[in-house]
């Protein structure tokens, strides 16, 4: 990557990725300005009906997951940032600055960010394989799509307890797979081993799949590949690297 691209990736990672359509959806101001958040965080609307992802994710799970779990993270995040240095920061900046000492902001800010990304990359009748620049980046990083799928699925299935598996872009613009516990994510530079900007994530908390799959996390992860909207994932990558 040339210097200009590197600086752009670094700047976007730090300031809040204003050009990214996903980051647009988690910000509360439409201006794209990275600083000066004045409104409370709000629960983003799902872009589809609760039953849109059936049979892969059932409507009741979606309703509870979005309306109770994600809503709870948003509510608790607003309480946790109140009267702190995080109060006027946008979510990506909070992720970049949060530490292990900020438990409420870490858990609920991560919860809000992670679920917002999760809903953004899911869609009815999706799946398949990526094309274009994302496909090229995947080939460069993993060799083949199947190799990516195997490594990503393994990260999701072997995460002990609750957490997430991620496909992210590092500061050199290269894709990598990682897994984080609880509601951590790769933007949490002070917490994670490998820092990056996630473009795809899968929630492997039991609340994401238990009604339909019970203990069969592997089946849920396999099903997840049928509802990934690769165009959204590709848009996330493009907006980070452009
Ligand atoms: Mn969840």
> Would you state the pLDDT for residue 123?
93
Report the alpha-carbon distance of residue 113 to residue 119 in Å, rounded.
10
> Would you state the pLDDT for residue 72?
98
Find the 240 Cα to ligand 1 centroid distance in Å: 25
Residue 184 has pLDDT above 70, yes or no: yes
Contact criterion met (CB below 8 Å) for 34 and 15: yes
pLDDT tens profile 91-115? 888 999 999 999 999 999 999 999 9
Residue 43 has pLDDT above 90, yes or no: yes
Tokens of 178: 């990682």
Report the alpha-carbon distance of residue 123 to residue 103 in Å, rounded.
32
The sign of the CA dihedral 195, 22, 152, 70 is positive
Q: What is the pLDDT confidence band of residue 144, given thresholds at 50, 70 and 90? A: very high
Q: What is the pLDDT confidence band of residue 240, given thresholds at 50, 70 and 90? A: confident
Residue 82 has pLDDT above 60, yes or no: yes
Average pLDDT of span 73-101: 94
Tokens of 206: 């039991």
Nearest to residue 114, comparing CAs of 175, 181, 173?
181
Residue 170's SS3 state is coil
Find the 65 Cα to ligand 1 centroid distance in Å: 6
Find the 3 Cα to ligand 1 centroid distance in Å: 37
Find the 146 Cα to ligand 1 centroid distance in Å: 26
Domains delineated in the chain: 3-50+57-120 (1.10.287.990), 132-241 (3.55.40.20)
> Would you state the pLDDT for residue 29?
39
Find the 115 Cα to ligand 1 centroid distance in Å: 6
Find the 205 Cα to ligand 1 centroid distance in Å: 6
Find the 140 Cα to ligand 1 centroid distance in Å: 30
Find the 175 Cα to ligand 1 centroid distance in Å: 24
Find the 179 Cα to ligand 1 centroid distance in Å: 14
Q: What percentage of residues in the chain have a pLDDT greater than 70?
A: 85
Angle formed by the axes of helices 230-241 and 3-15, nearest 10°: 110
């Amino acid at each position: 990557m040339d210097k200009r691209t590197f600086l752009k990736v670094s700047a976007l990672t730090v300031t809040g990725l204003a050009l990214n359509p996903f980051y647009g959806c988690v910000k509360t101001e439409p201006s794209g300005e990275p600083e000066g958040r004045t409104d409370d965080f709000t629960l983003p609307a799902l872009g589809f009906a609760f039953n849109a992802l059936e049979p892969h994710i059932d409507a009741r799970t979606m309703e509870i997951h979005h309306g109770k779990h994600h809503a709870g993270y948003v509510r608790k995040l607003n309480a946790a940032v109140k009267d702190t240095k995080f109060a006027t920061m946008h979510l990506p900046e909070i992720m970049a600055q949060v530490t292990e000492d900020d438990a409420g902001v870490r858990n609920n800010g991560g919860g809000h960010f992670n679920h917002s990304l999760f809903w953004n990359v899911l869609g009815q009748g999706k799946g398949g394989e990526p094309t274009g620049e994302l496909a090229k980046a995947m080939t460069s990083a993993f060799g083949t799509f199947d190799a990516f799928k195997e490594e990503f699925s393994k990260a999701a299935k072997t995460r002990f307890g609750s957490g997430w598996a991620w496909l992210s872009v590092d500061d050199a613009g290269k894709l990598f797979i990682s897994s984080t516990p609880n509601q951590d994510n790769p933007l949490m530079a002070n917490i994670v081993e490998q820092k990056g900007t996630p473009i795809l994530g899968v929630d492997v908390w039991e609340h994401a799949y238990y009604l339909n799959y019970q203990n069969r996390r592997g089946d849920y992860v396999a099903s997840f590949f049928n509802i990934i909207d690769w165009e959204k994932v590709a848009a996330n990558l493009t907006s980070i690297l452009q």
